[in-house]
Structure 1
Amino acid sequence: MDAPKTRRRGAELEAAILSAAWNQLVEEGYARFTFDTVAERARTSKPVLYRRWSGREALLRAAIRHRGASSPPAVPDTGGLRGDLIETLRNASTGESTMAALLTALVTSHFEDIGMTPAELRAEMIGSRETSVTTILSRAVERGEVDAARLTPRVVDLPFTLLRHEYLMTFAPPSDEAIVEFVDQIVLPVLQPAAH
């Protein structure tokens, strides 16, 4: 038996709907993020939602804004930059993190039908061949431009990690300016041996 609808009004009703919308998104993904499922979860009716939001995208945006405003991340203060950055990234990586939950919900929604993660799709595409970055870095080691000891798997993947991040955040290819910035300000300082 379904839970009875609850009489709420104004800000209380809107907050309940937006919380229900957020929970619907992160628990069942964007494919099941509909006015029907959100109304049922919020124990209200679809017309109540339509009076406030014109459609699914407007409701999604409102739910994200509401979650961001009601759950701001804690800012660590470990006493040093490195510690603060590590703690911030650790916090952002937890399942309770608003950003981690949002990205997981949106990204997995697009891969549910395929049955593979983006990493698995990438591995299928590359197969057993060496990646272009691996080839480039091997040549750079031979020329003495790169310290081979720095070439951990994550460091090798760094150029494409930055590229994927840009695509994920903008749904557009990075500008040439951004690519040059990635290489000059992020990748090369990590790869090249320290000057003596």
Structure 2
Amino acid sequence: MPASKTRRRGEHLERAILDATWAELSETGYSGLTIEAVAARAATSKTVIYRRWPSRAALVLAAWNHQAPVSVDEPDTGSLRTDLLTLFVTIARRVDTMMSEMIAGVMGEAFRHPEVAELLRDRLRAAPLHDRVQQIVDRAARRGELPPVRVPARALRIPLDLIRTEAMTCGAPLTDATITELVDDVYLPMLHGLASHPDR
């Protein structure tokens, strides 16, 4: 119905395209996803899609973000450890929704195409995860669990890196035991190490 295509604009059209992308991902996986199939499902054209997203990876990242938006605020559970466990569980659930094959596909395109790698870096830099981790650390400092510490940017990314790597190598969904080990054996000791050497 060509007339309906021309009337849909702005957020309504964008939402239809992102929903169609997610549906295609769920059915065919990243390797089987085509812009043609997304356009057909969304009742639009490839040209319209490419006007907004320059590559398949960019479209998939936008669809994932649309499907699972992130809140900057993290609930205060009363302790550093349980705050971190809550954060790690939230990240793990988001990684589950991405599907391991989709992560691998986007990362593969990032290795082959510098523009996709730059897009991925931009999205990671803009992610609210950094603020959430620092918020948790600042609360712990106010409780007296840690000395005040400014967490370096690479250390702020580590929760996502740990969970993404674990999901890709061992399979998702991650168990509660695995998430607890990541917090207790890796991230908490790292934060205490940073806090004991603030000059670094």
Question: Normalising to structure 2: TM-score of the pair?
Answer: 0.42
- Whose helix proportion is higher, 1 or 2? 2
Higher relative contact order (CA 8 A, sep 6+): 2
> TM-score normalized by structure 1?
0.43
Q: Determine which structure has more spread, i.e. the larger CA radius of gyration.
A: 1
